[in-house]
Homo-oligomer: A and B are copies of this chain.
Amino acid sequence: MQDCSWHDEQFNMNKETDYSAIRLRDMGSFHIGGRTVQLRDQPEYERVMSAGGEPVRLNLNGSYAIEQMYVQYFLAERPNGKGPLVFWHGGGMTGAAWETTPDGREGWVNYFIRHGWDVYLCDAVERGRSGFAPWPQIWPDKPVIQTVDDIYSRFRIGKHAQGYDRDPAQRTAYLNSRFPLAAFDQFAKQMVPRWTHTNDAIVNAFKALLDRLGSASIVCHSQAGPLALQLAAGHPEQIRTLVAIEPAGIPDINTNEYRTPTLIVLGDNIDTDSRWQRLREKILTFSSVVPEAHVLSLPEVGLRGNSHVMMMDTNNRDIAQLVNGWLARRLASFTGQAS
């Protein structure tokens, strides 16, 4: 349902400006999930390992550890008692998406640690520190790698001239954009290649993380949205609350049984983007039939110009504050405490 409470109780917020020290009772990382596979009967091949060297004979045969997920954790020194908060990035990205902004401001990870969350920052299967498997021997195909030009329009920073001989001068940001435009090239540097057949492996690894944690809240983005909704539909007892930042789809799930308190956040300038218009329709339909699903359309509460990567936009702390407030209220009712 459309959540109308934002105007009244939430949006007259005091701007939070805490940049005090970050204090952790522990931090570290681990890899979770995945499987071991064997390759046999592969031919040897030669490779020059460094410039000017002699070719070395290499052999692909043997065991591989694949489809595991890298998880970095930051546990607040004074935890807020609301349980783990898992960050799940979008397509072509890694956990770095939540750590910082392209212009060097603080990302959401710092914000949520300061608010007492135990933060788990993941690189989905096949991306970043999770590694990837040999192909075509194990995985069927090689990755898709996005151009900088595609990133500009796909993340709704603005429009670029059509055609594939595009130069940066032809990019035109939305007039109201809150993306830190001068740092766009820095944003492009954080994008990584992605595969297109690994959804099940990604979901399995997050399920393994939930099994380790017991239950958790999830903040996810874009590609991760439909995967996290699917996981919540199947395991409502393990996902306490779910925040989906512009989910890139709504999965085919039994909406009658969906019961995870869910907040879907939408940015601005969707009217200019036919793909996002269609996605918004699907999202509004989902929230209209699922009592526990709420949509927060940022322009409707007065936050204008937010891109598809609103966790990096110049008002990213304001949005973090809205999300944190929603999580706190929903988890208070979840645990039976007064909000």
Contacts and interface: CB of A to CB of B under 8 A. Distances in A.
Interface of A: 21-31, 34, 36, 39-40, 47-51, 58-65, 68, 70, 72, 77, 94-96, 99-100, 104, 106-107, 110, 123, 128-134, 141-142, 144-145, 147-150, 164-166, 168, 185-186, 188-193, 196-197, 199-200
Contacts of A31: 96, 186, 189-190
A132 B47 contact: no
Given A47-B196, A192-B131, A60 B96 contact: no
A224 to B, nearest CB: 13
A185 B129 contact: no
Given A31-B186, A48-B196, A21 B23 contact: yes
Given A40-B165, A64-B148, A132 B23 contact: no
14 contacts: A23-B24, A28-B104, A28-B106, A29-B99, A40-B164, A47-B141, A51-B199, A60-B145, A61-B164, A65-B148, A65-B185, A130-B192, A131-B193, A134-B145
A248 to B, nearest CB: 10
A47 B65 CA distance: 26
Contact of A96 (B29, B133, B168): B29
List of 5 A-B pairs having minimum Cβ-Cβ separation, nearest first: A62-B147, A61-B164, A31-B189, A131-B192, A63-B148
Contacts of A192: 129-132
A107 to B, nearest CB: 7
A201 B227 CA distance: 35
A48 B144 CA distance: 11
Nearest to A135: B142
Contacts of A62: 147-150, 164, 166
Contacts of A95: 129
Given A63-B168, A199-B50, A29 B100 contact: yes
B21 A22 contact: no
A23 B145 CA distance: 38
A281 to B, nearest CB: 19
Contacts of A22: 23-27
A99 to B, nearest CB: 4
Contacts of A34: 189
Given A21-B23, A22-B27, A134-B145, 5 more contacts: A21-B77, A23-B77, A50-B197, A65-B189, A131-B192
Contacts of A129: 94-96, 123, 128-129, 190, 192
